Chain A
């Protein structure tokens, strides 16, 4: 158990819908990273927040957004969903903001878009 929790574990929805994925980092970790893992694209970095502020942006679509709240939990919002958005979404947390420290990954949320 990494100490990072993600909810829900599974999510099935239809095209055009909007969903919210939630991540709670390990106690004391200030950074949260979001990743998308799919067969087509592999593991892609989406976005990073550090202590409530956006710190780095990767291959995140404009239909996707994220935020980190004062209690440090983070949410990834996916809207206007397409079939190709079906993937495993991971969050990871770490103490530092610069990837020197170890990232601890959550178990993931499996999103299926029908």
Chain B
């Protein structure tokens, strides 16, 4: 079964600093890869996704992620953190199951804390 590891349940940065949230997955076959953000008391919102093509993916709110097949990683970055970026971030992958369906698997989430 697919697994997703998000290194660090909490990441703390200062406003204006680089944001780096790490995600590694276990599949040897490139799956679909996603980053989602969840604000308090809300559902998840897609930040960006990788399906095929260019390995550097740009998303909303200035975030981007790079798919590195050799490292089975899909780390999320943002050059300059804003206070409004404070939220929970989830990395997710989907693999094609034997029956042809796609099964999404989520990491445990990383809480991003932004200090003034």
Contacts and interface: CB of A to CB of B under 8 A. Distances in A.
B17 interface: no
B43 A56 contact: no
Interface of A: 2, 4, 33, 42-45, 48, 55-56, 58, 90, 92, 97-100, 102-103, 105-108
B103 A2 contact: no
A42 B43 contact: no
Interface of B: 32, 36, 41-46, 49, 51, 90, 94, 97, 99, 101-109
Contact of A42 (B42, B44, B109): B109
Given A56-B97, A90-B44, A105-B45, A99 B109 contact: no
Contacts of B99: 56
Nearest to A100: B51
A50 B107 CA distance: 24
Contacts of A107: 41-43
* Of A2, A43, A92, A105, most B-chain CB atoms within 10 Å: A43
Contacts of A103: 44, 46
17 contacts: A2-B43, A33-B104, A42-B107, A43-B109, A45-B103, A45-B104, A45-B106, A48-B101, A56-B102, A90-B43, A92-B44, A97-B102, A99-B102, A99-B104, A103-B44, A105-B44, A107-B42
B43 A106 contact: yes
